[in-house]
Amino acid sequence: MTKRKLPRSTVHLLLNGTSTTVGSEFAHLNLGAYLREQRRLTGTKLVCSEGDCGACTVLIANAHSKEKIPFKAINSCIFPVTSADGCSVITVEGLSQVATSKSLTEVQKKLVESTGTQCGYCTPGFVMTLTGYLQEPESQKSCSLQEALVGNLCRCTGYLPIIEGAKKIDPKKNPNLRQFFFNPQQLKLLKLATQDPLEIENSNFHYFAPKTVASIKNKITQKTTLVSGNTDLGVLVNKDKLEITRAISLNQLTSAKKISKKPNSITIGHGVTITEFESIIKKQIPELFQFLKRFASPQIKNSATVIGNIANASPIGDLPPALLALDASLTFRNLKTNKARKLQLSAFFIGYKKTALKPFEMIESIEIPIAKNSIFRIFKASQRRDLDISTVSAALLYKKKTLRFAMGGVREKPIRLLKTELLLNQLDIPKMTEPEISRSCQVLLSEITPLSDLRGGAEYRKTVATNWFKSFLHELATLARGHQQ
Amino acid sequence: MKTDPSLHVTGKSEFVDDITPISNEVQIGVITSSITKGEITRLDYANALKCDGIIAVFTAADFVQPNWGAIFHDQPLLAAKEINYQGEAIALIVGNSKEAIRVARKHIKIEYKKSDAILDIETSRRLKQFVGPTRVISRSIENRTIAESLIASTHRLQGTLKIAGQDHFYLESQAAIAYPTEFSGISVISSTQHPTEVQHVVAHALGLKLSEVNCAVTRLGGGFGGKESQATPFAAYAALVAHKLNRPARLVLTKDEDMVLTGKRNPFLIEYEVGFNSDGLITALKADLFSDSGAYADLSTAIMERAMLHCDNAYYLPNARITGTVCKTHTAPSTAFRGFGGPKGVALIETIIENIALVLKKDSLDIRKLNAYQKSEQTTPYGQTIENNCLPELFSKLETSSQYRSDRAAVTAFNAKASKQLASGCLFPTPFIRGLSLTPIKFGISFSTRYLNQAAALVNLHLDGTVQVATGAVEMGQGVNTKIALAVAEIFGISIDKVRVTQTSTEKIHNTSATAASSGADLNATAARNAALEIRDRLSAFATKFFERKQTQTGKAPAAAGIYPELNCDESTTEGTTGLVSFEKGKVISVKSGDQLEFDALILEAYLNRINLGARGFFRYPGIHYNKETGEGQPFFYFTQGVASSLVEINCLTGDFKLLKAEILIDLGRPFHLPIDRGQVTGAFIQGLGWLTTEKLHYTADGRLLSISPSTYKIPGIGDIPERFEVSFLNNVGNSKNIRGSKAVGEPPLLLAISAWTAAQNAIQSLDTAKPCILPIPATAEVLQLEIQKRLKGLAV
């Protein structure tokens, strides 16, 4: 045997059950483009290249993860081929290996029978999402069938025939994906092949996936882009708005998936995806759990990280208002010096897509206080209910006679409404009079300067903001009256 | 399994960009204008040509004939000097890879001289930038002017309806691959609804003869009208490159490029005045329709015509004057989109009826039933009689089955409670209002341009008893190929598995019309059926002879096909033999003797006896005519009719709209293929819902489109379909006008979604019965919220 080389310069994955290596010349590609152009697996369609249609959905399972349900649906158009290192990937073509009758799987058969396909362009994506959703009895507990499919757009059927077909699927007839694409033998080999960190390079692109922070120091430069879920950066690259020449993936760091629960707070690492976050907070912060049902799509949530949604600092990001109202705090790690520092989330956003992160710093974790005995409401308005970012959003938390109030979509960054909070916190909020409410609305309006853009007009955003605010105050009053009675 | 669905679910269906490239194939990038209106003063691509992997740059000068157009030849394939919209194609950059093009295109320098752009219908109207003449449909049973009829009416209402565009959002963006062929010809594979137009435009643009160009298409990843005319320039670009370089050339747009470069559904502005009596009977309608064609004519004049022809929708208008004017602006040229103008006319009359109901404090359904066509002497404003009118039956059936009256009572009670809460100023719990509306459609089937209503088909029987069919129809998910196969299979009495509808190609069937106007199955399946009937007649004649001969040779059953002595069929005639032989369940049976033969065995015998086993069939809709100048005629072969009831709920805080319930009843005669037809109904309805609610195109003040991908342009998702979504079909077995007694289904159900929009109008009107509401299209959450806000002083500050 040859001597172990450190680090590796080839991506190793299982593609439809077959051990596959990806050479450095393709290291910059997204998985979808790699599958279509280099492997001629053209069943996977690339339509929007921004994770917003689901036609490129494939299933992926990481050999190094210990998740109960191995395969996750992802958008291959914004998933770097390098992130598939150490993973088993299933495309629509791979399903023919586990097909039962007439070379169709149960999912495929039921979609054919229900006329759940018309032009067929979105179909492989639906097949893959449904196959992932139904892979094991456990996997259906996380969400409803309809929620599982919000990330797949269809322009032909009006969805009804798809839902009708999907409802007739007999889960017992589903193939055992684990057995064919993720069995212990395959896992062992894949783990062995990918135990060393990946460092891969071609003429325009250098990629490094370190396992320790210490090993980053000498690789990181001013030109380095830190990559995690890639659901935001991947879009910018696909749309030619960003060129990444040097990337460091943070996914392999031991800090990535770290989770610690204290009685009054939850701390999660930078690699925790929204899907993982959902199960962590389901019991502790049920309002946030409910709200996340309207966050993007399962495919996005399976890749995107909580920290990424903060780090991109979009003024309309879905999570920041809720996390601001919860008064979360961040821990940064300097990748040159390995030193850590803490900062309240409320001090993190400093301008349009500008943050308090310094050069060579990453966000290592976020600590989210659990506000027990509080009234917590999160509001979101968007052009479409599902799979849409906020036009305007708000989070209000009332605890111990104190209000914390945060909004998105009303300024150049997510904000706390500090003046409004200040005014209200001098009052007995549940007993506010209508003139007091009106006055506080004026203060609220003085704090927000929304834009008119394609998602909505300034007037609309202002009106909705005050409506929600009033509705919340009326709720507190109603609850207080209920307590008195 | 040979049907498309089993290919779709396994990812094996081949779309244009799935075709494996030939090794010397080149890629094409389209360079577009970054200004809205003006002139190109400098185009410098020298540096781009120096980039790695770049082969050539082509411009307008490289075409022999630089212009094209579906009706008027007014659109340059590539802009030479004048720029008329932002995103207009200027040049083609050709390279070895998409990556090479991505890098090199940044080195192309274009300088412009900007001038003022027209970006809305109002400005275009003021400046009289019209395409073609203003058309008029006018009828008065009172022999009065429309002004006189209006003045004579008990009540009058006037208003303006604003309708914005809609992107097709087919998932497969525009795509074409061109291959050079011998003798300098070109073969194009295009994602087009109109292969013949591609063939003609490519030949014209490259200076080739029509016989030197072929266009083929296997299937589209969605079309919806967006690939009727507008697939053509991209096919022409690929053809130009292939022709110039003598190499295969591929052009596949990204979704973002597609949404910028291609045209949308026409925006409309409609000014109207309606007169009605105290019962709600409409006595006069004056409607002036103005559409936005964008920068070039494309199909806009024909679209306007259909809009005008549908202003009556399901209602008798004794006195009407409808005018249509197409206005040019500087946006991407508007084009065909499912419904083709019809939805605008129908939206107009349906919003008017909601207003009439409000004014008279009546239920809108009663106004609709009162005005609906009922007697045969009630002709349309353009003079067509409505045969086989099912409207009264449709109304009454759905009224009962959807429990309209109890829904109405529930909505009234719900809104009374909401109004009470809103009046108190309390915004907790979140206040919602509801609305209910039941709207009909009467959609005219056929192209209003007469010559397009023709189709041909080729049917070839093979010696194993299987059949290949070629037509001019393009499969884009609507199931036209399955319907064609079904029509042919039943003529021969064989299983549909034995019939293969092959790739659509102008080499096999020429002079095709676009697969459009809902007519694809009507025209092409009938043509294929006619071809199959011709062959069956020959087979019947042959089989009659064959069975007669067999009678005389009893006891000598052949061991293998082809061992019978030859029959003399040289002078055989098919006359008088039809009906002597039947074709059922894969067998050919002598009616007289009961003798039978397997279908494939008969085909082989027929071949050995030199019977022609192929035929070309032809069909045209009979008896239709329309005079565009006078606005009179019988433009439609028949009407597809239907009704839908929608129950909606609106969040008063945000305007969030939810369709709670939609029930549809549609008359498709004897439906051609029930599951396919039902899928067309649900799909069209939800596509219509998107047009009416969430699909908003946002332009900057200088005419740049910002909604260019699904993150910014919101077609309905799975969560937008109603929890209760029912589709049923009227039992109308008596229909005999069309093939198999069926009716066309592609477009009509899109217009049924208008019920959801009028239901929203109904909900908002419930807040203030003194204020008639006319919602623009799309009625987004923002629009709805602001309308609610206007009616409630207590809401917000």
Rounded to whole angstroms, how far apart are CA atoms B520 and B228?
12
Task: Write the pLDDT tens digit of every residue in A245-275.
Answer: 999 999 999 999 999 999 999 999 999 999 9
Residues in chain A closer than 8 A to B656 (CB atoms):
381, 385
Q: Which residue of B has its CA nearest to A120?
A: B8
Chain centroid to CA B293? 17
Whole-number CA gyration radius for chain B = 29
Q: What is the per-residue pLDDT for B559?
A: 46
- Tell me which residue range forms the domain holding B203: 24-117+168-261
Task: Write the pLDDT tens digit of every residue in B528-557.
Answer: 999 999 999 999 999 999 998 866 655 455
User: Would you call A202 an interface residue with chain B, using a CB distance cutoff of 8 Å?
Assistant: no
pTM to 2 decimals? 0.97
Interface contact flag, B170 A121, Cβ < 8 Å: yes
CA angle B743/B222/B445 to nearest 5° reads 25
Q: Do residues B407 and B506 both lie within one domain?
A: no
Give the C-alpha distances (Å, rounded to integers) separating B598 from A235, B2, B605.
59, 22, 11
Catalytic residues of B: 747
Most B-contacting residue of A47, A316, A391 (CB-CB within 10 A), to test interface:
A47
User: Would you call A438 an interface residue with chain B, using a CB distance cutoff of 8 Å?
Assistant: yes
The SS3 assignment for A160 reads: helix
Interface contact flag, B718 A475, Cβ < 8 Å: no
Q: Which residue of A has its CA nearest to B725?
A: A160
Q: Do residues B643 and B527 both lie within one domain?
A: no
Residues in chain B closer than 8 A to A454 (CB atoms):
696, 698, 706-707, 712
Interface contact flag, A240 B256, Cβ < 8 Å: no
Interface contact flag, B6 A112, Cβ < 8 Å: yes
Rounded to whole angstroms, how far apart are CA atoms B781 and B49?
48
Q: Which residue of B has its CA nearest to A48?
A: B255
| Domain termination site, one of B620, B649, B670 | B620
Residue B148 burial (CB < 10 Å; 0-12/13-18/19+)?
middle
Q: Could you tell me if B82 and B39 are in contact, meaning their C-beta atoms sit under 8 angstroms apart?
A: yes
Residues in chain A closer than 8 A to B711 (CB atoms):
48, 50, 52, 235, 389
User: Would you call A245 an interface residue with chain B, using a CB distance cutoff of 8 Å?
Assistant: no
Q: Could you tell me if B610 and B723 are in contact, meaning their C-beta atoms sit under 8 angstroms apart?
A: no
Interface contact flag, B696 A48, Cβ < 8 Å: no
Of A43, A460, A478, the CB nearest to B12: A43
Give the C-alpha distances (Å, rounded to integers) separating B57 from B78, B237, B676.
12, 11, 45
Q: Do residues B495 and B510 both lie within one domain?
A: yes
User: Would you call A48 an interface residue with chain B, using a CB distance cutoff of 8 Å?
Assistant: yes
Q: Which amino acid is at B551?
A: Q
Instruction: Return the residue matching tokens 């039956």.
Output: B393
The SS3 assignment for B330 reads: coil
Residues in chain A closer than 8 A to B7 (CB atoms):
120
Interface contact flag, B171 A52, Cβ < 8 Å: no
* A30 DSSP assignment: B
Q: Cα torsion for B57, B59, B62, B63, to the nearest 10°?
A: 130
Q: Which residue of A has its CA nearest to B2?
A: A102
Interface contact flag, B785 A464, Cβ < 8 Å: yes
Task: Write the pLDDT tens digit of every residue in A189-221.
Answer: 999 999 999 999 999 999 999 999 999 999 999
User: Would you call A93 an interface residue with chain B, using a CB distance cutoff of 8 Å?
Assistant: yes
Q: Which residue of B has its CA nearest to A156?
A: B683
Q: Do residues B460 and B560 both lie within one domain?
A: yes
- B797: in domain: no
Interface contact flag, B9 A53, Cβ < 8 Å: no
Please report which confidence band the pLDDT of residue A1 belongs to, taking 50, 70 and 90 as the band edges: very low
Beta-carbon neighbour count of residue A172 at 10 Å?
A: 7
Q: What is the per-residue pLDDT for A482?
A: 85
Q: Tell me whether the omega of the peptide bond preceding residue B440 falls within 30 degrees of 0, making it cis.
A: no
Interface contact flag, A120 B5, Cβ < 8 Å: yes
Instruction: Return the residue matching tokens 């266009």.
Output: B215
List the alpha helices (DSSP H) in A426-457.
434-447
Q: Which residue of B has its CA nearest to A383?
A: B694
Q: Give the gap in angstroms from C-alpha A117 to the nearest C-alpha of chain B.
A: 6
Q: What is the per-residue pLDDT for A100?
A: 81
Interface contact flag, B711 A111, Cβ < 8 Å: no
Rounded to whole angstroms, how far apart are CA atoms B123 and B129?
9
Rounded to whole angstroms, how far apart are CA atoms A451 and A411?
7
Q: Do residues B292 and B255 both lie within one domain?
A: no
Rounded to whole angstroms, how far apart are CA atoms B697 and B556?
75
Task: Report whether pLDDT(A2) > 60.
Answer: no
- B386: in domain: yes
Q: Could you tell me if B319 and B354 are in contact, meaning their C-beta atoms sit under 8 angstroms apart?
A: no
Residues in chain B closer than 8 A to A122 (CB atoms):
171
Interface contact flag, B698 A108, Cβ < 8 Å: no
Whole-number CA gyration radius for chain A = 24
Number of A to B CB contacts under 8 A, please give it. Answer: 250
Domain count, chain B: 3
Strand extents, DSSP E, B472-595: 499-501, 504-505, 581-584, 587-590
The SS3 assignment for B72 reads: coil
Of A49, A156, A442, the CB nearest to B683: A156
Residues in chain B closer than 8 A to A121 (CB atoms):
15, 170-172, 221-222
| Domain termination site, one of B597, B620, B643 | B620
Interface contact flag, B477 A119, Cβ < 8 Å: yes
Would you state the structure tokens that stand for residue B377, as one six-digit string? 């002497």
- B157: in domain: no
Q: Do residues B528 and B613 both lie within one domain?
A: yes
Q: Could you tell me if B247 and B239 are in contact, meaning their C-beta atoms sit under 8 angstroms apart?
A: no
Q: Give the gap in angstroms from C-alpha A176 to the nearest C-alpha of chain B.
A: 18
User: Would you call A433 an interface residue with chain B, using a CB distance cutoff of 8 Å?
Assistant: no
CA angle A127/A129/A133 to nearest 5° reads 115
User: Would you call A481 an interface residue with chain B, using a CB distance cutoff of 8 Å?
Assistant: no
Please report which confidence band the pLDDT of residue A136 belongs to, taking 50, 70 and 90 as the band edges: confident
Instruction: Return the residue matching tokens 């003869």.
Output: B209
Domains with residue ranges and CATH for chain A: 12-194 (3.10.20.30), 259-369 (3.30.465.10), 375-404+415-484 (3.30.390.50)
Q: Do residues B430 and B553 both lie within one domain?
A: no
Q: What is the mean pLDDT of residues A111-140?
A: 94
CATH, residue B172? 3.30.365.10
Sequence-separated (6 or more) residues with CB below 8 Å from residue A57: A44, A73, A74, A75, A76, A124, A125, A126, A128, A129, A151, A152, A299
- B148: in domain: no
Rounded to whole angstroms, how far apart are CA atoms A336 and A218?
8
Q: Give the gap in angstroms from C-alpha B622 to the nearest C-alpha of chain A.
A: 30
Task: Report whether pLDDT(A485) > 80.
Answer: no
Strand extents, DSSP E, B411-521: 432-445, 454-461, 467-471, 499-501, 504-505
Q: Give the gap in angstroms from C-alpha B593 to the nearest C-alpha of chain A.
A: 40
List the alpha helices (DSSP H) in A292-337.
298-303, 306-311, 320-325
The SS3 assignment for A213 reads: helix
Give the C-alpha distances (Å, rounded to integers) separating B594 from B338, B588, B608.
50, 10, 23
Q: Could you tell me if B113 and B38 are in contact, meaning their C-beta atoms sit under 8 angstroms apart?
A: yes
- B162: in domain: no
Q: Do residues B61 and B205 both lie within one domain?
A: yes
Task: Report whether pLDDT(A101) > 80.
Answer: no
The SS3 assignment for A401 reads: coil
Would you state the structure tokens that stand for residue B307, as one six-digit string? 């809009």
Closest CA to B637 of B623, B619, B617, B658: B623
| Domain termination site, one of B566, B590, B620 | B620
* DSSP-based helix, strand, coil % in chain A, nearest 5: 35, 20, 40
Q: Do residues B704 and B576 both lie within one domain?
A: no
Task: Report whether pLDDT(A356) > 50.
Answer: yes
Rounded to whole angstroms, how far apart are CA atoms B653 and B275?
36
Most A-contacting residue of B3, B7, B10 (CB-CB within 10 A), to test interface:
B10
- B796: in domain: no
Q: Give the gap in angstroms from C-alpha B717 to the nearest C-alpha of chain A.
A: 6
Q: Do residues B275 and B388 both lie within one domain?
A: yes
The angle, 0 to 180 degrees and rounded to 10, between the axes of the packed helices B674-692 and B342-360 is: 70
Q: Do residues B519 and B563 both lie within one domain?
A: yes
Beta-carbon neighbour count of residue B783 at 10 Å?
A: 20
- B107: in domain: yes
Interface contact flag, A123 B8, Cβ < 8 Å: yes
Residue B333 burial (CB < 10 Å; 0-12/13-18/19+)?
buried
Q: Which regions in chain B score pLDDT beneath 50?
A: 1, 555, 559, 797
Closest CA to B689 of B722, B653, B642: B722
Q: Which residue of A has its CA nearest to B654?
A: A464
Q: Could you tell me if A417 and A473 are in contact, meaning their C-beta atoms sit under 8 angstroms apart?
A: no
Q: Which amino acid is at A431?
A: K
Q: Give the gap in angstroms from C-alpha B779 to the nearest C-alpha of chain A.
A: 11
User: Would you call A43 an interface residue with chain B, using a CB distance cutoff of 8 Å?
Assistant: yes
Q: Do residues B439 and B471 both lie within one domain?
A: no
- B153: in domain: no
